[in-house]
Amino acid sequence: MTVRIARHALAEIRADCAARAPEEACGLLLGQGGHIERGVAAPNVADERLRHFEIDPAALFAAHRGARSGGPAILGCYHSHPGALARPSRLDAQRALDAGWIWLILGQDGEKAYRVVANGSIHGRFEAVAIEVVGKASVGTR
């Protein structure tokens, strides 16, 4: 499986994660039909934000409400591992309760995507998915 993400959305997510380092950043992935069009930063309300993340329930509620009223669907979430690889931790797996959600993790080795599935090969909860970045690079970058 491949998940598509808009180039500008990925750029915004990278910037959010960089700005909040060394704490873990987090947010929601919004879009349609398996295409991530936006990353929406959310407060990390975990106690130990250097090692964990917990998306502010108010942000999740607002996104659900937006989706119900015709806005983009919630396709998953993102968070950063400023001091580790972009691989789900065991705690991530314990908290990945929404089957079908895409988890985008930004770590020291870049960004990687995973899908929440039953009996996944990673901690019994995730399977790795490829990321396809779509859309033009803005003029002047690289």
Give the binding site for Zn ion (CB under 5 A). 89, 92
Q: At its nearest, how many Å lie between Zn ion and the CB of residue 125?
A: 12
CA angle 29, 57, 103 (to 5 degrees): 30
Q: At its nearest, how many Å lie between Zn ion and the CB of residue 92?
A: 4
CB nearer Zn ion, residue 35 or residue 95: 95
CB nearer Zn ion, residue 33 or residue 47: 47
Residue with the CB atom nearest Zn ion in the bound state: 92
Q: At its nearest, how many Å lie between Zn ion and the CB of residue 83?
A: 11
CB nearer Zn ion, residue 89 or residue 133: 89
**HSE-CB for 98 with a 13 A CA cutoff:** 10
CA 20 to chain CA centroid, Å, is: 15
CB nearer Zn ion, residue 47 or residue 141: 47
Contacts of 105 (CB under 8 A, 6+ apart): 78, 79, 80, 81, 86, 87, 88, 92, 111, 112, 113, 114
Q: Is 76 exposed, middle or buried (0-12, 13-18, 19+ CB in 10 A)?
A: buried
Q: At its nearest, how many Å lie between Zn ion and the CB of residue 32?
A: 26
